[in-house]
Amino acid sequence: MSLVIDSIVKSFGRFPALKGVSFTVPQGALVALLGPSGSGKTTLLRILGGLEAPDSGDVRFADLNWLSVPARERRAGFVFQHYALFRHMTVAQNIAFGPSVRPRRERPSRADIARRVEELLDLVQLPGLGGRYPSQLSGGQRQRVALARALAIEPRMLLLDEPFGALDAKVRKDLRGWLRSLQERLGITTVFVTHDQDEAFAIADLVAVMNAGAIEQYGTPQDVMRAPRTPFVADFLESGSNRLDA
Amino acid sequence: MTRPRFDNPTEDPVAARIALTLIAVLFIGLFLLLPLVVVFSQALSTGFAAARAAILEPDALSAVRLTLITAAIAVPLNMVFGVSAAWAVAKFDFRGKSVLTTLIDLPFSVSPVVAGLIYVLVFGLQGWLGPWLRAHDIKIIFALPGIVLATIFVTFPFVARELIPLMTDQGRDEEEAAVSLGATGLQTFFRVTLPNVKWGLLYGVLLCNARAMGEFGAVSVVSGHIRGLTDTMPLHVEVLYNDYQYVGAFAVASLLALLALVTLALKSLLEWRYADEIAAVHRH
């Protein structure tokens, strides 16, 4: 049940965002899409989530022609860069949103949903905060609510767009270790976008280095670090993670 | 030891502050409060009973009824139109979007009298559809449908104008999140998009209602001024005033002004009551 991405092409007007991207993510792996802004990594993530349609190419996942599955039926847990929490709903209502919009016959009972929300709040280490509104939470807490909301739909894959981008350095380090162990425990195939190589190398099983709509190198963090395959990858690693391209 | 005194760098000199405050108070008093007071005092100049009688007179009651019916039709329709238009403009990119935005603003830039004339030219007896309408015995001009149409035209931008900046500002993120969580288009709209703009919507509807009840120019052209039949409250005020029935005119005008005051009070009350929730929706 691996995720196979095959020759994805996408342009916005005359701007080519993805120029034929292919790679395979093994079942349960955590893959980082690493690259500068404008390299097409977020576009690829949005295509996997069904928020954008490619011009051509194929994606297969779980024996499905993934691209022909409508976004709302994919059960791809998407965590947005700025979390996109529903601001008029409490934390608990946010997390309950996915289960409560299911068709009536598949919908869990109210009590089941409430129980599930409590479990997820415990899982993301925010017990007792279900009654708060997103505006009353810190950045790190919102992040974890967004993750809990995505997990509530029992996702088949997790898609994280710069999941730690808006957090300060200390919180970022704590959260990424926590996220990694959680992902390992749940065993959900996960793709996450980042421009921070430290982050990518610290937690990913596989790293896809992207530049200008193409994959420059795809391999384990060790391989990429030890043997950059193109001048771009070497430069990108060289220039360090403190670049101001966020 | 006395400490040296410094002027607060962000504070203006006392004289300037007093002068500005005075100007603001005088302006508001002269141009907003005084007319309001005059309307009510004129209405009550010969006593409360006379004002009451002027409002309870059959033609006045019919005008009140017509105004309420017109608003009851025009406001909900404009609420639906306004929300749809704002939703399309703010959440989607499509060809002709700037044309649509300009069209939404059209009623603000066109004189209401011209708006009324447009409907006369289209639906009137000598108009494009006039002969066909007469053949089928449908009355639009000089009847309720014309008044409602003119009112809808004039009040169209209020809801959309209120919502477009709000919805644009909120972006599409939450809608995308809803879809990725499994929501259908309708669920997304009613559970995410609409609740996020409900206060703006309410404000737009209140303004729309105030204008719908107060509209004079456009309605005046299409109404035909048939007393007790096609006179709305603002038209009835004019008729009474032109007949030198000042008490009656000002009594009905007071009723209109009262409607405006109630609208404002309602809005303030809601804002005060739900301040926390409004802040939560607007903060990021």
pLDDT digits (tens, 9 = 90+) for B146-163: 999 999 999 999 999 999
Identity at A6, one-letter amino acid code: D
Residue of A46, A51, A80, A88 for testing the chain B interface, max B β-carbons within 10 Å: A88
pLDDT reading at B275 higher than 80: no
Report the pLDDT averaged over residues A196-214: 93
Nearest residue to B176 via CA among A74, A20, A68, A7:
A74
Of B171, B196, B163, give the one whose Cα is nearest residue A83. B171
Long-range contacts of B5-10 (CB under 8 A, 24+ apart): none
Check residues B227 and B27 and name the one with the higher pLDDT: B27
Residue A175 and residue A196 in contact, taking contact as beta carbons nearer than 8 Å: no
Which of A101, A158, A161 should one mutate to test binding to chain B, selecting the residue with the greatest count of B CBs within 10 A? A101
The verdict on a CB contact (< 8 Å) between A80 and B177 is yes
- B274 has a pLDDT exceeding 80: no
Phi, psi of A17 (to 5 degrees): -85, -40
Alpha carbons A150 and B97: distance in angstroms, whole number: 33
The stretch A117-132 carries a mean pLDDT of 93
> pLDDT value at position B7?
66
pTM for this prediction: 0.81
Task: Determine the number of helices (DSSP H) and then strands (DSSP E) in chain B.
Answer: 17, 0
Q: Report the alpha-carbon distance of residue A74 to residue A67 in Å, rounded.
A: 9
Asked if the model's pLDDT at residue B47 lies above 80, the reply is yes
What are A208's strand-pairing partners?
A33, A218
Q: Which residues of A touch B191 (CB under 8 A)?
A: 86, 97, 101
Give the nearest chain B residue to A87 (CA atoms).
B281
CA distance A187 to A246: 29
Tokens for A100, please give them: 């409560």
Residue A207 — φ and ψ, nearest 5°?
Answer: -120, 130
Cβ contact (<8 Å) for B182 and A82?
Answer: no
Which region among A86-90, A216-220, B168-172 has the lowest average model confidence (pLDDT)?
B168-172
Contact B205, B75 (CB under 8 A): yes
Asked whether the predicted pLDDT for residue A50 surpasses 70, the reply is yes
Does the pLDDT of residue B26 top 90, yes or no? yes
CB contact under 8 A, B280 and A50: no
Q: Is the predicted pLDDT of residue A245 greater than 60, yes or no?
A: no
pLDDT at A188: 94
CB B204 within 8 A of CB B162: yes
Here the tokens at position A209 are 């280095």
Give pLDDT tens digits for A164-189. Answer: 887 888 888 888 888 899 999 999 99
Sort out which chain B residues have CB atoms less than 8 A from A166's CB and list them: none
User: Which residue's structure tokens are 């009623």?
Assistant: B107
Average pLDDT over residues B4-31: 83
The CB density around residue B254, as the number of other CB atoms within 10 Å, is 21
Report the mean per-residue pLDDT for chain A.
91
**Nearest Cα to B281, choosing from B195, B206, B204?**
B195
Running DSSP on this structure, what letter comes out for residue A13? Answer: T
- Name the band, by pLDDT with cuts 50, 70 and 90, for residue A31: very high
pLDDT mean over B85-105: 89
Give residue B156's pLDDT.
Answer: 92
Which of A48, A52, A72, A137 should one mutate to test binding to chain B, selecting the residue with the greatest count of B CBs within 10 A?
A72
CB B61 within 8 A of CB B252: no
Using the structure block, give the residue that is written with the tokens 């509209």: B215
Contact B231, B61 (CB under 8 A): no
Q: Do B182 and A75 touch (CB under 8 A)?
A: yes
- Residue B282, pLDDT score: 61
- Average pLDDT of span B84-101: 90
Percent of chain B residues topping a pLDDT of 70: 94
